[in-house]
Chain A
Protein backbone atom coordinates (compact mmCIF):
# COMPACT_ATOMS: atom_id res chain seq x y z
CA UNK A 1 0.00 0.00 0.00
CA UNK A 2 1.39 3.41 -0.99
CA UNK A 3 1.91 6.27 1.45
CA UNK A 4 -0.95 8.14 -0.21
CA UNK A 5 -3.46 5.33 0.33
CA UNK A 6 -2.29 4.88 3.92
CA UNK A 7 -2.65 8.63 4.49
CA UNK A 8 -6.18 8.75 3.10
CA UNK A 9 -7.13 5.71 5.14
CA UNK A 10 -5.98 7.20 8.43
CA UNK A 11 -8.39 6.70 11.36
CA UNK A 12 -10.53 9.79 11.60
CA UNK A 13 -9.90 9.92 15.34
CA UNK A 14 -6.32 10.94 14.57
CA UNK A 15 -7.76 13.97 12.76
CA UNK A 16 -10.03 14.61 15.75
CA UNK A 17 -6.99 14.72 18.05
CA UNK A 18 -5.32 17.37 15.86
CA UNK A 19 -8.49 19.48 15.88
CA UNK A 20 -8.86 19.10 19.66
CA UNK A 21 -5.23 20.08 20.31
CA UNK A 22 -5.45 22.90 17.77
CA UNK A 23 -8.29 24.33 19.81
CA UNK A 24 -6.99 23.75 23.32
CA UNK A 25 -3.31 24.68 22.99
CA UNK A 26 -3.84 28.30 21.81
CA UNK A 27 -6.37 28.82 24.60
CA UNK A 28 -3.82 27.61 27.16
CA UNK A 29 -0.87 29.44 25.55
CA UNK A 30 -2.29 32.52 23.81
CA UNK A 31 -0.14 34.71 21.56
CA UNK A 32 -2.99 37.17 20.84
CA UNK A 33 -2.57 37.49 17.08
CA UNK A 34 -3.65 40.92 15.81
CA UNK A 35 -7.24 41.41 14.66
CA UNK A 36 -8.27 43.86 11.94
CA UNK A 37 -11.74 45.39 12.05
CA UNK A 38 -13.26 44.68 8.63
CA UNK A 39 -15.45 47.28 6.82
CA UNK A 40 -18.81 45.61 7.50
CA UNK A 41 -18.20 45.38 11.24
CA UNK A 42 -16.93 48.96 11.25
CA UNK A 43 -20.15 50.01 9.48
CA UNK A 44 -22.23 48.25 12.16
CA UNK A 45 -20.18 49.96 14.87
CA UNK A 46 -20.54 53.38 13.25
CA UNK A 47 -24.31 52.98 12.81
CA UNK A 48 -24.70 52.57 16.57
CA UNK A 49 -21.96 55.02 17.49
CA UNK A 50 -23.50 57.92 15.56
CA UNK A 51 -26.98 57.61 17.11
CA UNK A 52 -27.83 60.57 19.35
CA UNK A 53 -27.93 59.98 23.12
CA UNK A 54 -31.31 58.65 24.29
CA UNK A 55 -32.12 56.99 20.94
CA UNK A 56 -34.09 53.76 21.22
CA UNK A 57 -32.54 50.58 19.86
CA UNK A 58 -34.63 47.42 19.45
CA UNK A 59 -32.34 44.38 19.71
CA UNK A 60 -33.88 41.06 18.78
CA UNK A 61 -31.62 38.23 19.86
CA UNK A 62 -33.00 35.31 17.89
CA UNK A 63 -30.75 32.41 18.77
CA UNK A 64 -30.49 29.41 21.05
CA UNK A 65 -27.63 27.64 22.85
CA UNK A 66 -26.47 25.77 19.74
CA UNK A 67 -25.04 29.01 18.30
CA UNK A 68 -24.41 30.95 21.51
CA UNK A 69 -20.65 30.65 21.00
CA UNK A 70 -20.89 33.09 18.11
CA UNK A 71 -23.83 35.26 19.10
CA UNK A 72 -23.62 35.64 22.87
CA UNK A 73 -20.29 37.57 22.81
CA UNK A 74 -21.73 39.65 19.96
CA UNK A 75 -24.87 40.47 21.97
CA UNK A 76 -22.87 41.51 25.01
CA UNK A 77 -20.44 43.69 23.00
CA UNK A 78 -23.20 45.43 21.00
CA UNK A 79 -25.36 46.05 24.06
CA UNK A 80 -22.37 47.42 25.98
CA UNK A 81 -21.78 49.76 23.07
CA UNK A 82 -25.40 50.94 23.23
CA UNK A 83 -25.18 51.48 26.98
CA UNK A 84 -21.88 53.35 26.69
CA UNK A 85 -23.53 55.72 24.23
CA UNK A 86 -26.50 56.16 26.63
CA UNK A 87 -28.94 54.60 24.17
CA UNK A 88 -32.14 52.97 25.42
CA UNK A 89 -32.23 49.25 24.68
CA UNK A 90 -35.39 47.20 24.07
CA UNK A 91 -34.42 43.52 24.06
CA UNK A 92 -36.49 40.59 22.84
CA UNK A 93 -36.16 37.11 21.39
CA UNK A 94 -38.20 35.19 18.84
CA UNK A 95 -36.68 31.85 19.84
CA UNK A 96 -38.39 29.82 22.58
CA UNK A 97 -35.04 28.73 24.03
CA UNK A 98 -33.70 32.28 23.75
CA UNK A 99 -34.72 33.88 27.08
CA UNK A 100 -32.23 31.78 29.08
CA UNK A 101 -29.39 33.36 27.10
CA UNK A 102 -30.74 36.84 26.42
CA UNK A 103 -31.69 37.58 30.02
CA UNK A 104 -28.14 37.03 31.38
CA UNK A 105 -26.58 38.75 28.34
CA UNK A 106 -28.61 41.91 29.02
CA UNK A 107 -27.79 41.77 32.71
CA UNK A 108 -24.05 41.30 32.11
CA UNK A 109 -23.90 44.17 29.60
CA UNK A 110 -25.96 46.50 31.82
CA UNK A 111 -23.97 45.75 34.97
CA UNK A 112 -20.70 46.29 33.11
CA UNK A 113 -21.82 49.74 31.97
CA UNK A 114 -23.72 50.67 35.16
CA UNK A 115 -27.21 50.66 33.67
CA UNK A 116 -30.54 49.84 35.31
CA UNK A 117 -33.38 47.62 34.13
CA UNK A 118 -36.57 49.43 33.12
CA UNK A 119 -34.75 52.79 33.21
CA UNK A 120 -32.10 52.12 30.56
CA UNK A 121 -33.28 48.84 29.11
CA UNK A 122 -36.16 46.38 29.06
CA UNK A 123 -36.35 42.69 28.24
CA UNK A 124 -39.67 41.89 26.59
CA UNK A 125 -39.07 38.14 26.56
CA UNK A 126 -40.09 35.60 23.95
CA UNK A 127 -42.94 35.72 21.49
CA UNK A 128 -43.78 33.06 18.91
CA UNK A 129 -43.95 33.56 15.16
CA UNK A 130 -41.22 35.53 13.38
CA UNK A 131 -43.13 37.49 10.75
CA UNK A 132 -46.28 38.01 12.78
CA UNK A 133 -44.38 39.67 15.61
CA UNK A 134 -42.27 41.78 13.26
CA UNK A 135 -45.28 43.13 11.39
CA UNK A 136 -47.24 43.42 14.63
CA UNK A 137 -44.56 45.76 15.99
CA UNK A 138 -45.42 48.09 13.13
CA UNK A 139 -48.81 48.68 14.73
CA UNK A 140 -48.61 47.95 18.44
CA UNK A 141 -45.81 46.70 20.66
CA UNK A 142 -48.27 46.37 23.55
CA UNK A 143 -50.58 44.06 21.63
CA UNK A 144 -47.71 41.66 20.97
CA UNK A 145 -46.19 42.06 24.43
CA UNK A 146 -48.84 43.00 27.03
CA UNK A 147 -46.20 42.49 29.76
CA UNK A 148 -42.40 42.19 29.75
CA UNK A 149 -40.43 39.05 30.66
CA UNK A 150 -40.85 39.83 34.37
CA UNK A 151 -44.65 40.30 34.03
CA UNK A 152 -44.47 44.07 34.39
CA UNK A 153 -47.14 45.82 32.28
CA UNK A 154 -45.37 47.81 29.57
CA UNK A 155 -47.12 51.06 30.56
CA UNK A 156 -45.36 51.05 33.92
CA UNK A 157 -41.85 50.68 32.41
CA UNK A 158 -40.18 54.11 32.09
CA UNK A 159 -37.94 53.20 29.15
CA UNK A 160 -41.03 52.31 27.09
CA UNK A 161 -42.95 55.50 27.82
CA UNK A 162 -44.24 56.74 24.46
CA UNK A 163 -42.89 53.72 22.58
CA UNK A 164 -45.41 51.46 20.88
CA UNK A 165 -44.19 50.76 17.36
CA UNK A 166 -41.27 51.09 14.95
CA UNK A 167 -42.16 54.77 14.61
CA UNK A 168 -40.56 55.46 17.98
CA UNK A 169 -37.55 53.21 17.43
CA UNK A 170 -34.36 54.61 15.88
CA UNK A 171 -32.48 51.42 15.06
CA UNK A 172 -33.22 47.71 14.88
CA UNK A 173 -30.42 45.23 15.55
CA UNK A 174 -31.01 41.57 14.81
CA UNK A 175 -28.59 39.00 16.18
CA UNK A 176 -29.62 35.68 14.77
CA UNK A 177 -28.82 32.17 13.66
CA UNK A 178 -31.75 31.73 11.31
CA UNK A 179 -34.09 33.03 8.64
CA UNK A 180 -35.35 35.57 11.19
CA UNK A 181 -32.79 37.83 9.47
CA UNK A 182 -34.68 37.56 6.16
CA UNK A 183 -37.89 38.64 7.82
CA UNK A 184 -36.33 41.54 9.73
CA UNK A 185 -35.03 42.69 6.33
CA UNK A 186 -38.47 42.23 4.76
CA UNK A 187 -40.47 43.97 7.44
CA UNK A 188 -38.36 46.24 9.66
CA UNK A 189 -35.94 47.42 6.97
CA UNK A 190 -38.03 47.32 3.79
CA UNK A 191 -41.66 47.72 4.77
CA UNK A 192 -41.17 50.05 7.75
CA UNK A 193 -37.91 51.57 6.47
CA UNK A 194 -36.04 51.22 9.75
CA UNK A 195 -32.27 51.24 9.97
CA UNK A 196 -31.19 47.62 10.45
CA UNK A 197 -27.89 46.09 11.57
CA UNK A 198 -27.40 42.33 11.40
CA UNK A 199 -25.28 40.07 13.56
CA UNK A 200 -25.31 36.56 12.14
CA UNK A 201 -23.56 33.23 12.51
CA UNK A 202 -20.65 32.74 10.13
CA UNK A 203 -22.66 30.07 8.27
CA UNK A 204 -25.20 32.71 7.27
CA UNK A 205 -23.00 35.76 6.92
CA UNK A 206 -22.04 35.44 3.25
CA UNK A 207 -25.72 35.25 2.22
CA UNK A 208 -26.43 38.79 3.39
CA UNK A 209 -23.93 40.76 1.31
CA UNK A 210 -26.60 41.65 -1.32
CA UNK A 211 -28.60 43.43 1.37
CA UNK A 212 -25.59 45.48 2.42
CA UNK A 213 -25.21 46.71 -1.13
CA UNK A 214 -28.92 47.63 -1.31
CA UNK A 215 -28.63 49.40 2.09
CA UNK A 216 -31.38 47.23 3.54
CA UNK A 217 -28.63 46.35 6.04
CA UNK A 218 -26.32 49.04 7.37
CA UNK A 219 -23.77 46.72 8.93
CA UNK A 220 -22.97 43.04 9.32
CA UNK A 221 -21.18 41.28 12.16
CA UNK A 222 -20.44 37.71 11.10
CA UNK A 223 -19.67 34.89 13.52
CA UNK A 224 -17.25 34.76 16.42
CA UNK A 225 -14.66 36.52 14.23
CA UNK A 226 -17.08 39.43 13.71
CA UNK A 227 -17.77 39.49 17.45
CA UNK A 228 -14.02 39.58 18.11
CA UNK A 229 -13.67 42.55 15.75
CA UNK A 230 -16.51 44.32 17.53
CA UNK A 231 -14.87 43.62 20.90
CA UNK A 232 -11.63 45.05 19.55
CA UNK A 233 -13.42 48.15 18.28
CA UNK A 234 -14.96 48.54 21.75
CA UNK A 235 -11.55 47.96 23.36
CA UNK A 236 -12.89 44.94 25.23
CA UNK A 237 -11.19 41.58 25.66
CA UNK A 238 -13.99 39.03 25.75
CA UNK A 239 -14.64 35.41 24.85
CA UNK A 240 -14.64 36.05 21.09
CA UNK A 241 -11.24 37.76 20.99
CA UNK A 242 -9.80 35.15 23.34
CA UNK A 243 -10.79 32.43 20.90
CA UNK A 244 -9.20 33.92 17.79
CA UNK A 245 -5.77 32.26 18.13
CA UNK A 246 -7.47 28.87 18.22
CA UNK A 247 -9.66 29.89 15.29
CA UNK A 248 -6.54 30.68 13.23
CA UNK A 249 -4.70 27.49 14.14
CA UNK A 250 -7.63 25.15 13.47
CA UNK A 251 -8.27 26.86 10.12
CA UNK A 252 -4.62 26.26 9.18
CA UNK A 253 -4.90 22.60 10.23
CA UNK A 254 -8.03 22.11 8.11
CA UNK A 255 -6.45 23.89 5.13
CA UNK A 256 -3.39 21.61 5.42
CA UNK A 257 -5.70 18.58 5.63
CA UNK A 258 -7.49 19.66 2.42
CA UNK A 259 -4.17 20.17 0.62
CA UNK A 260 -2.75 16.86 1.92
CA UNK A 261 -5.90 15.03 0.85
CA UNK A 262 -5.62 16.41 -2.67
CA UNK A 263 -1.88 15.75 -2.94
CA UNK A 264 -2.43 12.15 -1.81
CA UNK A 265 -5.23 11.73 -4.33
CA UNK A 266 -3.00 13.09 -7.11
CA UNK A 267 -0.19 10.75 -6.11
CA UNK A 268 -2.57 7.79 -6.20
CA UNK A 269 -3.86 8.76 -9.63
CA UNK A 270 -0.28 9.11 -10.95
CA UNK A 271 0.66 5.66 -9.65
CA UNK A 272 -2.53 4.16 -11.12
CA UNK A 273 -4.05 3.30 -7.73
CA UNK A 274 -7.37 5.01 -8.47
CA UNK A 275 -8.83 8.01 -6.70
CA UNK A 276 -11.17 6.83 -3.99
CA UNK A 277 -10.41 7.08 -0.31
CA UNK A 278 -9.68 3.90 1.62
CA UNK A 279 -12.90 4.03 3.64
CA UNK A 280 -16.28 5.67 3.41
CA UNK A 281 -16.53 9.44 3.78
CA UNK A 282 -15.85 9.32 7.50
CA UNK A 283 -13.14 6.65 7.14
CA UNK A 284 -12.70 3.67 9.43
CA UNK A 285 -14.30 4.02 12.82
Chain B
Protein backbone atom coordinates (compact mmCIF):
# COMPACT_ATOMS: atom_id res chain seq x y z
CA UNK B 1 0.00 0.00 0.00
CA UNK B 2 1.35 3.44 -1.04
CA UNK B 3 4.69 1.98 -2.07
CA UNK B 4 5.77 5.16 -3.86
CA UNK B 5 5.17 7.59 -0.97
CA UNK B 6 6.62 5.09 1.53
CA UNK B 7 9.80 4.91 -0.58
CA UNK B 8 9.98 8.71 -0.66
CA UNK B 9 9.72 8.85 3.13
CA UNK B 10 12.40 6.18 3.44
CA UNK B 11 14.76 7.87 0.98
CA UNK B 12 14.43 11.33 2.54
CA UNK B 13 14.51 10.14 6.15
CA UNK B 14 17.47 7.79 5.60
CA UNK B 15 19.33 10.49 3.65
CA UNK B 16 18.93 13.00 6.49
CA UNK B 17 20.16 10.48 9.05
CA UNK B 18 23.16 9.69 6.83
CA UNK B 19 23.89 13.39 6.20
CA UNK B 20 24.02 13.95 9.96
CA UNK B 21 27.16 11.81 10.08
CA UNK B 22 28.89 13.36 7.04
CA UNK B 23 30.52 16.69 7.86
CA UNK B 24 31.70 17.26 4.25
CA UNK B 25 30.63 20.66 2.90
CA UNK B 26 28.89 19.23 -0.17
CA UNK B 27 26.86 16.86 1.98
CA UNK B 28 25.76 19.76 4.13
CA UNK B 29 24.77 21.77 1.05
CA UNK B 30 22.46 18.89 0.06
CA UNK B 31 21.17 18.76 3.64
CA UNK B 32 20.38 22.50 3.60
CA UNK B 33 18.63 22.20 0.22
CA UNK B 34 16.33 19.41 1.48
CA UNK B 35 15.55 21.43 4.58
CA UNK B 36 14.70 24.52 2.54
CA UNK B 37 12.30 22.43 0.50
CA UNK B 38 10.62 21.32 3.72
CA UNK B 39 10.32 24.98 4.78
CA UNK B 40 8.44 25.77 1.55
CA UNK B 41 6.20 22.68 1.82
CA UNK B 42 5.37 23.67 5.43
CA UNK B 43 4.23 27.10 4.20
CA UNK B 44 1.86 25.41 1.78
CA UNK B 45 0.60 23.14 4.59
CA UNK B 46 -0.42 26.23 6.54
CA UNK B 47 -2.25 27.56 3.45
CA UNK B 48 -4.05 24.21 3.30
CA UNK B 49 -5.13 24.73 6.91
CA UNK B 50 -6.60 28.12 6.09
CA UNK B 51 -8.50 26.72 3.08
CA UNK B 52 -9.92 24.07 5.37
CA UNK B 53 -11.00 26.79 7.83
CA UNK B 54 -12.72 28.66 4.98
CA UNK B 55 -14.53 25.50 3.84
CA UNK B 56 -15.79 24.75 7.36
CA UNK B 57 -17.29 28.20 7.76
CA UNK B 58 -18.62 28.32 4.18
CA UNK B 59 -20.50 25.08 4.89
CA UNK B 60 -22.01 26.59 8.04
CA UNK B 61 -23.20 29.64 6.08
CA UNK B 62 -24.53 27.56 3.17
CA UNK B 63 -26.53 25.28 5.45
CA UNK B 64 -27.60 28.12 7.77
CA UNK B 65 -26.27 26.23 10.79
CA UNK B 66 -26.86 27.96 14.14
CA UNK B 67 -24.48 30.88 14.55
CA UNK B 68 -23.80 31.18 10.80
CA UNK B 69 -23.66 35.02 10.81
CA UNK B 70 -20.57 34.72 13.03
CA UNK B 71 -18.99 32.49 10.38
CA UNK B 72 -19.47 35.37 7.94
CA UNK B 73 -17.38 37.52 10.29
CA UNK B 74 -14.58 34.94 10.19
CA UNK B 75 -14.71 34.64 6.40
CA UNK B 76 -14.82 38.38 5.78
CA UNK B 77 -11.88 39.00 8.15
CA UNK B 78 -9.89 36.15 6.64
CA UNK B 79 -10.26 37.53 3.10
CA UNK B 80 -9.63 41.15 4.11
CA UNK B 81 -6.52 40.50 6.21
CA UNK B 82 -5.05 38.05 3.70
CA UNK B 83 -5.69 40.36 0.76
CA UNK B 84 -4.28 43.44 2.43
CA UNK B 85 -1.31 41.50 3.79
CA UNK B 86 -0.41 40.05 0.40
CA UNK B 87 -0.71 43.39 -1.39
CA UNK B 88 0.69 45.77 1.25
CA UNK B 89 2.79 43.56 3.48
CA UNK B 90 2.53 43.21 7.24
CA UNK B 91 5.24 45.53 8.55
CA UNK B 92 4.82 48.73 10.54
CA UNK B 93 2.73 51.35 8.78
CA UNK B 94 0.52 48.87 6.93
CA UNK B 95 -3.18 48.31 7.56
CA UNK B 96 -2.51 44.69 8.55
CA UNK B 97 -0.02 45.84 11.20
CA UNK B 98 -2.72 48.12 12.65
CA UNK B 99 -5.26 45.28 12.59
CA UNK B 100 -2.74 42.96 14.25
CA UNK B 101 -2.08 45.44 17.07
CA UNK B 102 -5.73 46.31 17.70
CA UNK B 103 -7.49 42.99 16.95
CA UNK B 104 -5.17 39.94 16.88
CA UNK B 105 -2.94 40.83 19.81
CA UNK B 106 -5.64 41.88 22.35
CA UNK B 107 -7.97 39.03 21.39
CA UNK B 108 -5.35 36.28 21.56
CA UNK B 109 -3.91 37.50 24.84
CA UNK B 110 -7.33 38.04 26.47
CA UNK B 111 -8.55 34.58 25.44
CA UNK B 112 -5.64 33.08 27.35
CA UNK B 113 -5.99 35.55 30.23
CA UNK B 114 -9.44 34.02 30.88
CA UNK B 115 -7.64 30.90 32.02
CA UNK B 116 -6.45 32.72 35.16
CA UNK B 117 -10.07 32.83 36.36
CA UNK B 118 -10.82 29.24 35.45
CA UNK B 119 -7.64 27.84 36.96
CA UNK B 120 -8.49 29.60 40.25
CA UNK B 121 -12.03 28.22 40.24
CA UNK B 122 -10.81 24.71 39.35
CA UNK B 123 -8.12 24.82 42.06
CA UNK B 124 -10.78 25.71 44.65
CA UNK B 125 -13.16 22.94 43.61
CA UNK B 126 -10.97 20.10 42.43
CA UNK B 127 -7.50 20.38 43.96
CA UNK B 128 -7.87 17.86 46.79
CA UNK B 129 -5.39 16.19 49.15
CA UNK B 130 -7.13 12.81 48.96
CA UNK B 131 -4.03 10.62 49.37
CA UNK B 132 -0.26 10.89 49.81
CA UNK B 133 0.47 11.42 46.11
CA UNK B 134 -2.20 14.10 45.67
CA UNK B 135 -1.00 15.79 48.87
CA UNK B 136 2.57 15.90 47.56
CA UNK B 137 1.35 17.50 44.36
CA UNK B 138 -0.84 20.01 46.18
CA UNK B 139 1.78 21.00 48.75
CA UNK B 140 4.47 21.47 46.09
CA UNK B 141 2.12 23.56 43.97
CA UNK B 142 1.23 25.84 46.89
CA UNK B 143 4.89 26.14 47.91
CA UNK B 144 5.76 27.16 44.34
CA UNK B 145 2.89 29.63 44.12
CA UNK B 146 3.99 31.37 47.30
CA UNK B 147 7.73 30.74 47.27
CA UNK B 148 8.52 31.92 43.76
CA UNK B 149 6.94 35.39 44.14
CA UNK B 150 7.86 38.36 46.28
CA UNK B 151 5.37 37.64 49.05
CA UNK B 152 7.06 34.29 49.74
CA UNK B 153 10.39 35.92 50.36
CA UNK B 154 8.67 38.45 52.59
CA UNK B 155 7.15 35.62 54.66
CA UNK B 156 10.36 33.53 54.86
CA UNK B 157 13.69 34.67 53.35
CA UNK B 158 14.68 31.03 52.67
CA UNK B 159 11.69 30.44 50.37
CA UNK B 160 13.40 31.23 47.02
CA UNK B 161 16.35 28.93 47.81
CA UNK B 162 14.05 26.12 48.99
CA UNK B 163 11.84 26.28 45.88
CA UNK B 164 14.98 26.44 43.73
CA UNK B 165 16.12 23.18 45.38
CA UNK B 166 12.75 21.57 44.64
CA UNK B 167 13.19 22.53 40.99
CA UNK B 168 16.85 21.54 40.86
CA UNK B 169 16.58 18.11 42.47
CA UNK B 170 13.24 16.23 42.57
CA UNK B 171 11.75 18.17 39.66
CA UNK B 172 14.90 17.73 37.60
CA UNK B 173 15.01 13.98 38.24
CA UNK B 174 11.41 13.43 37.13
CA UNK B 175 11.63 15.77 34.14
CA UNK B 176 14.86 14.11 33.01
CA UNK B 177 13.20 10.69 33.11
CA UNK B 178 10.31 12.08 31.07
CA UNK B 179 12.74 13.70 28.58
CA UNK B 180 14.60 10.42 28.12
CA UNK B 181 11.29 8.55 27.68
CA UNK B 182 10.02 11.09 25.16
CA UNK B 183 13.38 10.98 23.36
CA UNK B 184 13.33 7.19 23.05
CA UNK B 185 9.71 7.33 21.89
CA UNK B 186 10.50 9.94 19.22
CA UNK B 187 13.50 7.95 17.96
CA UNK B 188 11.55 4.70 17.71
CA UNK B 189 8.55 6.38 16.04
CA UNK B 190 10.88 8.13 13.57
CA UNK B 191 12.56 4.84 12.69
CA UNK B 192 9.21 3.07 12.31
CA UNK B 193 8.04 5.77 9.89
CA UNK B 194 11.27 5.73 7.87
CA UNK B 195 11.24 1.93 7.63
CA UNK B 196 7.62 1.94 6.51
CA UNK B 197 6.32 0.06 9.55
CA UNK B 198 4.17 3.02 10.61
CA UNK B 199 2.10 4.39 7.69
CA UNK B 200 -0.99 5.84 9.34
CA UNK B 201 0.11 9.40 8.43
CA UNK B 202 -0.71 8.58 4.78
CA UNK B 203 -4.36 8.02 5.66
CA UNK B 204 -6.69 5.27 4.58
CA UNK B 205 -6.54 3.63 1.17
CA UNK B 206 -9.13 4.87 -1.37
Contact = CB atoms under 8 A, between A and B. Distances in A.
Interface of A: 8, 12, 15-16, 18-20, 23, 33-36, 38-40, 64-69, 96-97, 99-101, 103-104, 107, 127-129, 131-133, 135-136, 138-140, 143-144, 149-150, 191, 206-210, 213, 225, 244-245, 247-255, 257-262, 265, 275, 277, 279, 281-283
Given A248-B150, A255-B145, A265 B128 contact: yes
A33 B125 contact: no
B109 interface: yes
Given A15-B124, A136-B39, A67 B32 contact: no
Interface in B147-183: 148-154, 160, 164, 167-168, 171-172, 175-176, 178-179
A209 B168 contact: yes
Contacts of B118: 282
B105 A101 contact: yes
Interface stretch (B7-15, B68-76, B96-104, B197-205): B96-104
Given A65-B109, A132-B36, 17 more contacts: A16-B120, A34-B150, A107-B92, A127-B39, A129-B38, A129-B39, A144-B39, A149-B91, A207-B178, A209-B175, A210-B172, A254-B120, A258-B124, A258-B141, A262-B138, A277-B126, A282-B118
Interface string B57-76: 00000000000000000000
Main secondary structure of the interface of B (DSSP, over half): helix
- Closest A-B pairs by Cβ, 3 of them: A33-B150, A65-B108, A139-B32
B132 interface: no
A66 B109 contact: yes
A248 B149 CA distance: 6
A255 B146 contact: yes
A248 B113 CA distance: 17
Which of B35, B113, B145, B167 counts the most chain A CB atoms within 10 A?
Answer: B35
A215 B46 CA distance: 35
B52 interface: no
B121 A282 contact: yes
Contacts of B97: 100
B20 to A, nearest CB: 8
A140 B31 CA distance: 11
A217 to B, nearest CB: 12
B122 interface: yes
B35 A135 contact: yes
Contacts of A259: 142
A255 B171 CA distance: 21
A132 B167 contact: no
B129 interface: yes
Contacts of A247: 149-150
A225 B154 CA distance: 16
Given A210-B172, A247-B149, A251-B145, A281 B122 contact: yes
B188 to A, nearest CB: 17
Interface string B13-42: 000000010000000110111011011001
A238 to B, nearest CB: 16
A132 B39 contact: yes
B151 A249 contact: yes
A255 to B, nearest CB: 5
A177 to B, nearest CB: 10
Nearest to B159: A36
Contact of A139 (B29, B104, B117, B126): B29
B154 A209 contact: no
Contacts of A39: 164
Contacts of B113: 69
Contacts of A103: 91-92
Contacts of A64: 108
B160 A36 contact: yes
B125 A8 contact: yes
Contact of B28 (A138, A150, A209): A138
A15 B152 CA distance: 22
